[in-house]
Amino acid sequence: MRVVVFLFLLLLSVEGVHAFPEMIRFGYTSCTACHVSPAGGGLTTAYGRSISKELLSRWSYEGEENLAHGAIGNENTLSWLNGSRDRGFNVGGDLRFLQTRVDTSQFTQGRAFPMQRDLEFSAKYDQFSLTTSYGIIYSANDKDQINLRRTYLTWNINDNILVRAGRFIPVYGIMSSDHYLAIKQNLLLGQLTERNTVESHFTYENWSASLSYSKAPPSKTNLDGELAATGTLNYNINETMRVGVNYWYGHYKEKKRDITGINALLGYTKKFYSLSEIDLQTNLPYGGAKTKGLYYFHRFGYEVTRGLHLLAQIDGSQSDVNASNTKYYAFGSGITFYPRPHFELQLMWTRPKYVGVAFSDAAFLVFHYYL
């Protein structure tokens, strides 16, 4: 049964915005240079598109990184659509297809299907912008659902401070697109947990911080209207290494919880890097006993040649540190390949392990295309 649950989380996980925390190795300690969202992922800026060609992709031709692969040849028209004007627009979108396979001693199961079909749009007027994402959510049992998943208004007060309000996932820890990880899905901070949020960001030379207040929709992903206050603080050790601390306090119908965590994005060289996060969650059910849970993730990456990355990772959790039967972990390896701007391929293999259940094998192949 637990392996089936892992498969379900895997199916949920790969949809969504894509962030690139591994870019720390090139000195990008924050997301705002390359992404419209201060949390990273989603729409890229004109500068972010240029970086996708110059640093990420194996091959490219002149202008390929631009919207529609450079088919819009008029520079004036392009500047209206790629977010480079103070008053203009930014247009993008994502298509993501997933192939999964799970092998256990009881069964073998594989599936292939579209996970994400999104269009994203941002309108900017001087210091203000409105961003919205509209797409189709895959449903394994029901008809695919059309959904307005993210929409928020941003006010860039100055070069160091911005405020945004709307519907999105609050910043906490490493903002990775791998939502199947324990630090995301098991903490109910992963895919499909967008909520009504007000968030402020502060970015300075060697440190950055964020504060947010949010409310989850009723009965959404077991959060049942959780009210939460969140804070993050990051410090740049040098140009390619960043460490951070995070705190989350939430309460809802059945209990309250707080999460305290640390994370590190470390670029040892321009090819070798690691991402790490450890979180401790305390749950206090109203009228019940307090429990503490541990959640962790570590990944090492090495860029063998431009655009081709080898990955090794472990992630796991124990929702109650005093109950051994709640322990779960998975180690694995994989590759990520960026052949050209707009394209990404990822192949991952993991071995999830639950207490009392034999190791199983899980693998997935993701094809990602963005406009």
CATH number of the CATH domain containing 176:
2.40.160.10
Write the pLDDT tens digit of every residue in 185-214.
Answer: 899 888 778 899 999 999 999 999 999 999
For 21, 104, 262, 279, the CA distances from 183, given in Å and listed in that order, are 15, 24, 11, 7
What is the model's pLDDT at position 220? 55
Write the pLDDT tens digit of every residue in 40-67.
Answer: 888 888 898 999 999 999 999 999 999 8
Tokens, residue 296:
């962790």
What is the model's pLDDT at position 228? 97
Tell whether the model's pLDDT for residue 142 goes beyond 60.
no
Is residue 287 a part of any domain in this protein? yes
Domain carrying residue 156: 2-76+99-113+137-370
What is the model's pLDDT at position 141? 60
Is residue 87 a part of any domain in this protein? no
Write the pLDDT tens digit of every residue in 338-369.
Answer: 999 999 999 999 998 887 777 788 998 999 99
What is the model's pLDDT at position 32? 81
User: For residues 184 and 191, what is the distance between their CA atoms, to the nearest angstrom?
Assistant: 8
3-state secondary structure the chain: CHHHHHHHHHHHHCCCCCCCHHHHHHCCCCCCCCECCCCCCCCECHHHHHHHHHHHCCCCCCCCCCHHHHCCCCHHHHHHHECCCCEEEEEEEEEEEEEEEEECCCCEEEEEEEEEEEEEEEEEECCEEEEEEEEEECCCCCCCEEEEEEEEEEEECCCCEEEEEEEECCCCCCCCCCCCCHHHHHCCCCCCCCEEEEEEEEECCCEEEEEEEEECCCCCCCCCCCEEEEEEEEEEEECCEEEEEEEEEEECCCEEEEEEEEEEEEECCCCEEEEEEEEEEEEEECCCCCEEEEEEEEEEEEEEECCEEEEEEEEEEECCCCCHHHEEEEEEEEEEECCCCCEEEEEEEEEEEECCCCCCEEEEEEEEEEC
Tokens, residue 243:
């460490």
Q: Of 177 and 133, which is predicted with more confidence?
A: 133
Tell whether the model's pLDDT for residue 162 goes beyond 50.
yes
Is residue 86 a part of any domain in this protein? no
Contact yes or no for 172/207 (Cβ under 8 A): no
Is residue 56 a part of any domain in this protein? yes
Is residue 7 a part of any domain in this protein? yes
Residue type, 83: G
* 91-106 average pLDDT score: 87
Q: What is the pLDDT confidence band of residue 237, given thresholds at 50, 70 and 90? A: very high
Is residue 88 a part of any domain in this protein? no
Q: Kindly report the pTM of this predicted structure.
A: 0.90
Is residue 236 a part of any domain in this protein? yes
Ranked by mean pLDDT, the top range of 134-138, 242-246, 284-288, 323-327 is 242-246
Q: How far is C-alpha 114 from the chain's CA centre?
A: 18
Q: How many domains would you assign to the chain?
A: 1
Contact yes or no for 340/57 (Cβ under 8 A): yes
What is the model's pLDDT at position 171? 95
Is residue 244 a part of any domain in this protein? yes
What is the model's pLDDT at position 187? 92
User: For residues 299 and 142, what is the distance between their CA atoms, to the nearest angstrom?
Assistant: 35
